[in-house]
Amino acid sequence: MNKVNQISVEYITPSRSIEVYKLTSLGKSKLVFVYNYEGIQFRFFESIIDLIRFFEIGREPMSIFGSEEELDDYLNKILVEEYI
């Protein structure tokens, strides 16, 4: 089980935001990014580059969730590998 800490929330509009999370497990950690669309759809990005590609060219992420509970479950279980 990962330790999940929300680092920041940046609002694009009052109902759309980009959330940054720090995931920690077994001494390793990494930052991940979530685009929260009106609280009804959550797009998960493993890197800032993937997030930028989504906004610039519409490249969809591999993981999209329909509820905050699904996202939380995923964040708790995803493999944490440190990126240098």
8-67, pLDDT tens digit by residue?
A: 999 999 999 999 999 999 889 999 999 999 999 999 999 999 999 999 999 998 899 999
The reported pLDDT for the residue numbered 80 is 87
The reported pLDDT for the residue numbered 6 is 96
Residue 79 predicted with pLDDT over 90 = no
The reported pLDDT for the residue numbered 81 is 77
Alpha-carbon distance of 14 to 21, in angstroms, equals 20
User: Which residue is it, tokens 């490249």?
Assistant: 59
The reported pLDDT for the residue numbered 41 is 97
- Residues 6 or more apart in contact with residue 62 via CB below 8 angstroms: 44
Give the start-to-end residue ranges of the domains of the chain.
3-77
Alpha-carbon distance of 49 to 73, in angstroms, equals 24
